[in-house]
Structure 1
Amino acid sequence: MDFDGHVRLEKVCFTYPTRSDQRVLHDITFEIKSGQKIALVGPSGGGKSTIASLLERFYDPDSGTIYFGSNPLKSIDPKWLRENVSFVNQEPSLFACSIRDNITFGLDRIDITLDEIQEAAKQANAHDFIEKFENKYDTLVGERGVRLSGGQRQRIAIARALLMSPKLLLLDEATSALDAESEHLVQEAIERAMIDRTVLVIAHRLSTVRNSNSVIVIDHGTIVEQGTHDFLISKDDGIYKKLVLRQLMAGNDSITT
């Protein structure tokens, strides 16, 4: 399928099957042009992660349509979707196997070389800590990656995404507490992963938002503001400006409440 990363949501509404009386998304309409970086921001529980779940087609909208290029998402082969869309979330899914197998998980290629795996790990700031293990890339990580720290698990997941080289990258920045060095390494890896591809990031850091082409503010399942960081910060009564100022006054870089 011909797809350059262009994604469009048109009047998307959604309700979780287990909470049929509570609509989560209301008439969500926006597009991500090929190569753009779009940041979703807003209070916790506003619907940001739900949008990412719909783009991965974990669920289908109740109404409205999601397009990948000119193709409705519902018409796309799930196998193709898994090969071309990658999601790095706050709690990455690691499996009870080796670091090598976790990085290559989900790839159909059987000719992947160790050099390719190592290059992806280097870009994700994971290679150095992997090399310190006795068995290096053959180190077993344990169930759900229990033998690795939170920052290490995130970097392994980023390496997996880089090796896949997806047309569309979905990122949910971690809000969990990491030590300063780990946070810097993870953030640097995320910024590298965003280069030269279409990205939708659920952004929790002001630095990420500033580097985005456009910011979409989600609150109570509705798009309440949209524009560049500079435009939104200039709106005196805007939700985005209030969110940013509140966090700056608190002395941190987070823009999530």
Structure 2
Amino acid sequence: MLELILGLTRAFLANTGQICTLILRFYHNRLIVQEPKLFRMDISSNIKYGCPMEVSHEEVVQAAKQAYAHDFILALPEGYKTVVDNSLLSGGQKQRIAIARAILREPRILILDEATSALDAESEHYVKGVMRSAHNGSKRTVIVIAHRLSTIQAADRIVVMDGGKIIEMGSHTELIQKDGLYSRLVKRQADAFA
């Protein structure tokens, strides 16, 4: 397993779920998955759900702001007291609630597992903002597991995996210059959108 250096964002491009499975065992309460679940309760309670410590409403609001969820929450009929479940909010809104839930726990490591794969462009933009703000000014490592390369291009370090093995590591620019698997995948995805 790679040594995790606090304060860096790491991105994993994995063709297998092996690293996810290993991480899930140890970091399940710091993990934001592709399709997070909300419980039939108000938004504030959904954000606090499972938090091992007592938290104030102000702390819930701060976590929601860091997750870019505060504005859409305030636009709901009863704000933070609006009762929700899995059907009321969009995929991007549920993602941001799940991210606020994880941020509230003040994790040293935050893991986003395919957190943008099913999102529209606007929601992906917000979640990318969360990735940046989740570690800026903190000693938090953010690990992003993604197949959508646009999600990870701004990461401090990208780890490319193939067949369960690390085959490349570096920044987006460094990996493009290496002209390896990552570079080929970036070109392939760019061609697909052209």
TM-score range, shorter chain: 0.7 to 0.9
Runs of 4+ in 1 over 6 A off after TM superposition: none
Q: 1:189 offset after TM fit, Å?
A: 2.3
Query: Which structure has more strand as a fraction of its residues?
Result: 1
Which residue pairs with 1:99 in the alignment? 43
Q: Tell me: higher relative CO, structure 1 or 2? Use CA pairs within 8 A at least 6 residues apart.
A: 2
Residue 171 (structure 2) pairs with residue 228 (structure 1): yes
Residues in 2 aligned to 1:140 and 1:204: alpha-carbon distance in whole angstroms: 33
Query: Which structure has more helix as a fraction of its residues?
Result: 2
Residues in 2 aligned to 1:157 and 1:245: alpha-carbon distance in whole angstroms: 32
Residues in 2 aligned to 1:177 and 1:136: alpha-carbon distance in whole angstroms: 23
Change (3 A) 1:200 1:183: closer
Which residue pairs with 2:112 in the alignment? 171
One-letter identity of the residue aligned with 1:198? T
Residues in 2 aligned to 1:35 and 1:177: alpha-carbon distance in whole angstroms: 26
Q: 1:205 offset after TM fit, Å?
A: 4.5
Residue 127 (structure 2) pairs with residue 193 (structure 1): no
1:89·1:174 contact (CA, 8 Å) conserved in 2? no
Change (3 A) 1:170 1:156: same
Q: 1:138 offset after TM fit, Å?
A: 1.7
CA RMSD of aligned residues (A): 2.1
One-letter identity of the residue aligned with 1:160? R
Change (3 A) 1:205 1:191: farther
Alignment match of 2:99 (pick from 158, 171, 188)? 158
Identity of aligned residues (%): 43
Gaps of 5+ in 2: none
TM-score (norm 2): 0.87
**What is the correspondence of 1:101-250 to structure 2 with a 5 Å cutoff?**
101-110=45-54, 112-142=55-85, 145-172=86-113, 173-178=115-120, 180-195=121-136, 196=138, 197-236=140-179, 238-250=180-192
Q: 1:161 offset after TM fit, Å?
A: 1.5
Q: Number of matched residues?
A: 191
Change (3 A) 1:204 1:99: same
TM-score (norm 1): 0.67
